[in-house]
Amino acid sequence: MRDVAVIGVGMIRFGELWERSLRDLFTRAALAAVDDAGVDRVDAMYVGCMSSGLLVEQEHIGALFADELGMGPIPAVRVESACAAGGLALRSAFIEVASGMSDIVLAAGVEKMTDVAGDEATHALAAASDREYEAFHGVTFPGLYAMIARAHMERYGTTTEQLAAVAVKNHANGALNPMAQFRRPITKEAVLKSIMIADPLHILDCSPISDGAAAAIVCPLEKAKELTEKLPIRIAGVGAATDTLALYRRKDLTRLSAVARSAEAALKMAGKTIEDVHLAEVHDCFTIAEICVIEELGLVERGKGGQAAESGLTALDGKLPVNTSGGLKAKGHPVGATGLAQVYELVQQLRGEAGERQIKDARVGLAQNMGGSGGSSVVHVLEAC
Amino acid sequence: MRDVAVIGVGMIRFGELWERSLRDLFTRAALAAVDDAGVDRVDAMYVGCMSSGLLVEQEHIGALFADELGMGPIPAVRVESACAAGGLALRSAFIEVASGMSDIVLAAGVEKMTDVAGDEATHALAAASDREYEAFHGVTFPGLYAMIARAHMERYGTTTEQLAAVAVKNHANGALNPMAQFRRPITKEAVLKSIMIADPLHILDCSPISDGAAAAIVCPLEKAKELTEKLPIRIAGVGAATDTLALYRRKDLTRLSAVARSAEAALKMAGKTIEDVHLAEVHDCFTIAEICVIEELGLVERGKGGQAAESGLTALDGKLPVNTSGGLKAKGHPVGATGLAQVYELVQQLRGEAGERQIKDARVGLAQNMGGSGGSSVVHVLEAC
């Protein structure tokens, strides 16, 4: 397999972008990545998108977007794995370049969620759960993650204050990120007083419904220097794994085993351990998700995830910065775009271009992107060359 | 890149399978492929499916199906490109094995179309066209292909009798295929007297709305002999290409340029020309589609596609057998499954296991799978080793 590098990234600021269509979101992010890389062609592309069918009644978006980008007739494929679609689009692009099939491949993620009413978006998102055994019976994602949170509180003594600390940290980071949907710091009190969505999760424990897109250009590492003047960021490791969609089929509600397995595979490929990682972007669709994920990654001991944000360990100036971008919580969560937006942040950081959010001497970053309530997970380990 | 072979295939008979759910369809076809290959594990899987969101309100089906198959926690990704989803799932599996990332990969395709009313299925299928510039204005797929047919008739003198001859041929083949939805020969008169859907296309010019699934197991060619006793079928060439989704953006309505480009790429990779191909499965979602596709593949001269079925050239006992399985027309067209069902037929033929449909001395087969009205196309060249 050839070594593969990210040589360009692009995204648009996430938000409620009512004036922009699905194809417009994609095209802006993709062109930004093409411009960033400085390439004049793309040989193939992958687009991660969860539910353009239910949300805007459009499938077949690979070909549609290749044409919009002026890159048709290149091969173009949509990849879907719920909210992990973006990360898996990058994995597909990585494999295509690693195989020798193509040289310059675009991986993009996009979701247009605000063209439908909130209840319809919730209905579409529930398609990431097991429709027959979960959604049809009335449970939605806040409810599923609330069950995970309750189990974690019972087992490890995790508190609602600790959940709130994750939101406070990520909003503080998002306030420094020009691409974030929410650029406003919040207080623990504000989280705890915000409306209850599914006990113990308040609305400020939940990531928002967003429109947005993000993209990356990958190529063989050995060709990166010919193609671009930017510092190549090597994809040192890639791992993907799955778990049951339905929570009732899991032995332990506090575990997200696909996260652990995908991280293990990615770190093994990279020849690294979690101690080598300087910063991580993780899938905080709800505050409890960040807590469980950092435990699965081994960034903290099992059961200690709740203390991490509260103690400052995962803050921008902490020992293990997590979600320096603001995470899904503050940056926004247009579901298919999230995996690539994580990579956008890591590339900024590893290039030393993250401005006020810059982590000093960051050379190795990890991105963890998750589908549903952990039914799928994909991890990339990125390294500045 | 490593050489890649198909070592197992499976499918279920297509039809209106009201008693089977989406996951059940997939699992039966996937297990049949696993059994056929005789493998005891799968390292990764790809599932082609066009619109499980609009049709059964379920996304995230890669992970869901890996679990159903008892293969979780393997990486599992859904691939979508409208009706070409199945073919592109196989292309992804090919690339993953060729790269060295995985050894045994399952490629499956599935669609469950009869859980909704006919008008809702038509609405879902219209998501393969350009929703904003075509479907919102009322045109559906029979209408789009009717425009292509009209243009072909004007340009080349193609007749409704020639369209009907495609349906007659494919139903004759389907009658010999135990996996076909329709196993009943039809006459030219029956086609011409059947209800008009979109002039000049009668209902017997249209493939049906179907439920179904098909699957293939691929591995490195050099490991095929260790893994299975079946004759390995090498994937000698793979090509994919895109075109505008919307017909109004094309210079020539009679051309399907993505088909030509994808075939050219696949044949080039295989080191072959179209003259080396002994039989082809092509995307006859409508009779006119087969006519245009065989022209784009170079099986016949441009403008002569209409004469091919009428003259017997593409019949089972003709010089260039096309759609020996019965094609989408008679075998059925559960859209995401079609690309893999084509491969199922070719593998049967190249192994010499096609029974009454067997083409003598068939050693090289070509599968052409298309999305929408030609917005995407993927071609595989298969060769008996």
Backbone angles phi, psi at B250, to 5 degrees: -100, 150
- Using the beta-carbon criterion (under 8 Å), do A242 and B74 form an inter-chain contact? yes
* Residue A345, domain member (yes or no): yes
How many Cβ atoms from other residues are within 10 Å of residue B226's Cβ? 8
Q: Which of A59, A92, A242 is nearest residue B127 as measured by Cβ atoms? A: A59
- Whether A281 contacts A365, CB under 8 Å: yes
Is the same domain home to A257 and A315?
yes
CA distances from A75 to A159, A343, B81, B170 (A): 49, 23, 10, 29
Distance, in angstroms, between A139 CA and closest chain B CA?
A: 14
pLDDT 10s digits, A150-160 = 999 999 999 99
Decide: residue B360, CB within 10 A, 0-12 exposed, 13-18 middle, 19+ buried. Answer: exposed
- Using the beta-carbon criterion (under 8 Å), do B60 and A92 form an inter-chain contact? no
Q: What is the pLDDT of residue B48?
A: 98
- Using the beta-carbon criterion (under 8 Å), do B54 and A53 form an inter-chain contact? yes
Nearest CA in chain B to A58: B127
Q: Which of A79, A98, A372 is nearest residue B60 as measured by Cβ atoms? A: A372
B257 chain-A contacts, CB cut-off 8 A: 73
Structural domain count of chain A = 2
* Residue A173, domain member (yes or no): yes
Decide: residue A251, CB within 10 A, 0-12 exposed, 13-18 middle, 19+ buried. Answer: exposed
Mean pLDDT computed over B194-219: 98
Nearest CA in chain B to A80: B78
Is the backbone of residue B332 left (phi > 0), alpha (psi -120 to 50) or beta?
left
Is the same domain home to A244 and A160?
yes
Q: What is the pLDDT of residue B168?
A: 98
Q: What is the pLDDT of residue B216?
A: 98
Is the same domain home to B271 and B191?
yes
Half-sphere exposure of A144 (CA within 13 A, CB side): 29
- Using the beta-carbon criterion (under 8 Å), do A80 and B73 form an inter-chain contact? no
Q: Which of B64, B72, B261 is nearest residue A73 as measured by Cβ atoms? A: B261
Mean pLDDT computed over B268-292: 98
Q: What is the pLDDT of residue B157?
A: 98
B373 chain-A contacts, CB cut-off 8 A: none
Q: What is the pLDDT of residue A208?
A: 98
> B283: pLDDT confidence band, cut at 50, 70 and 90?
very high
Distance, in angstroms, between A374 CA and closest chain B CA?
A: 10
CA distance B47 to B37: 18
Is the same domain home to A227 and A247?
no
- Using the beta-carbon criterion (under 8 Å), do A66 and B100 form an inter-chain contact? no
Decide: helix, strand or coil at residue A227. helix
A78 chain-B contacts, CB cut-off 8 A: 79-81
Q: What is the pLDDT of residue A80?
A: 98
Distance, in angstroms, between A55 CA and closest chain B CA?
A: 9
Catalytic choice (B171, B202, B333, B380): B333
CATH assignment at residue A290? 3.40.47.10
- Using the beta-carbon criterion (under 8 Å), do A101 and B21 form an inter-chain contact? no
Cβ partners under 8 Å of residue B349, min gap 6: B279, B324, B357, B358, B359, B362, B365
> B362: pLDDT confidence band, cut at 50, 70 and 90?
very high
For chain B, state the CA radius of gyration.
Answer: 19
Backbone angles phi, psi at A181, to 5 degrees: -65, -45
Distance, in angstroms, between A312 CA and closest chain B CA?
A: 33
Catalytic choice (A83, A206, A219, A292): A83
- Whether A74 contacts A44, CB under 8 Å: yes
The boundaries of the domain holding residue B52 are 4-117+210-233
- Using the beta-carbon criterion (under 8 Å), do A241 and B21 form an inter-chain contact? no
* Residue A290, domain member (yes or no): yes
* Residue A132, domain member (yes or no): no
Q: Which of B73, B81, B96 is nearest residue A78 as measured by Cβ atoms? A: B81
Is the same domain home to B162 and B214?
no
Query: To probe the interface with A, which of B45, B59, B97 has the most A CB atoms within 10 Å?
Result: B59
A244 chain-B contacts, CB cut-off 8 A: 67, 72
Decide: helix, strand or coil at residue A4. strand
Mean pLDDT computed over B83-109: 98
- Using the beta-carbon criterion (under 8 Å), do A245 and B64 form an inter-chain contact? yes
- Using the beta-carbon criterion (under 8 Å), do B132 and A53 form an inter-chain contact? no
Give the length of chain B: 385
- Using the beta-carbon criterion (under 8 Å), do A243 and B72 form an inter-chain contact? yes
- Whether B172 contacts B316, CB under 8 Å: yes
- Using the beta-carbon criterion (under 8 Å), do B243 and A73 form an inter-chain contact? yes
Distance, in angstroms, between B202 CA and closest chain A CA?
A: 26
Backbone angles phi, psi at B211, to 5 degrees: -110, 145
ipTM: 0.97
Is the same domain home to A21 and A148?
no
B258 chain-A contacts, CB cut-off 8 A: 63, 73
Query: Among this protein's residues, is A333 annotated catalytic?
Result: yes
pLDDT 10s digits, B147-196 = 999 999 999 999 999 999 999 999 999 999 999 999 999 999 999 999 99
Is the same domain home to B220 and B188?
no
Last residue of a domain, one of B172, B198, B233: B233
Strand bridging mode B105-112 / B211-220: antiparallel
Q: What is the pLDDT of residue A76?
A: 98
Is the same domain home to B298 and B362?
yes
Q: What is the pLDDT of residue B344?
A: 98
CA distance B53 to A270: 36
- Whether B15 contacts B113, CB under 8 Å: no
Is the same domain home to A219 and A333?
no
Is the same domain home to B178 and B326?
yes
Tokens describing residue B250: 């094309």
Query: Among this protein's residues, is A285 annotated catalytic?
Result: no
CA distance B341 to B325: 9
Nearest CA in chain B to A371: B60
pLDDT 10s digits, B23-74 = 999 999 999 999 999 999 999 999 999 999 999 999 999 999 999 999 999 9
Is the same domain home to A55 and A153?
no
Q: Which of A60, A96, A99 is nearest residue B376 as measured by Cβ atoms? A: A60
Q: What is the pLDDT of residue A271?
A: 98
A129 chain-B contacts, CB cut-off 8 A: 60
**Stretch (H or E) spanning B48:** strand B44-48
CA distance B151 to B68: 46
Chain A with chain B: Cβ pairs closer than 8 A: 213
Half-sphere exposure of B50 (CA within 13 A, CB side): 38
**Stretch (H or E) spanning A33:** helix A22-37
- Using the beta-carbon criterion (under 8 Å), do A81 and B66 form an inter-chain contact? no
Is the same domain home to B74 and B220?
yes
- Using the beta-carbon criterion (under 8 Å), do A243 and B63 form an inter-chain contact? yes
**pLDDT lower than 70: segments of chain A:** none
Catalytic choice (B83, B206, B219, B292): B83
Q: Which of B62, B92, B258 is nearest residue A73 as measured by Cβ atoms? A: B258
